[in-house]
Structure 1
Amino acid sequence: TSIKDDAFAGLPHLEYLFIENNKIESISKHAFRGLRDLIHL
């Protein structure tokens, strides 16, 4: 599994993102771009 660039586009007000217990093999450099309100990853 991978998280690609702009994976969360359209969710600028997302504050909490829980991705534990996932088999993530790679995260693109700009995967979280635009998440200006993100508090907890």
Structure 2
Amino acid sequence: MPVKIKPTAYTIVKENYRLGAYCFTAAFLFIAGQDFKKE
């Protein structure tokens, strides 16, 4: 059982990390764009 749960949890973490990195990049670009517009 633990052998099956481990890869599943790893996959979920990997997917969440990918999604988190995408959201972080999008937010960073949005904030950078706002700062660029101000000046």
Name the structure with the higher helix share: 2
Structure with the larger strand share = 1
Q: TM-score, normalised by structure 2?
A: 0.16
Q: Which has the larger radius of gyration?
A: 2
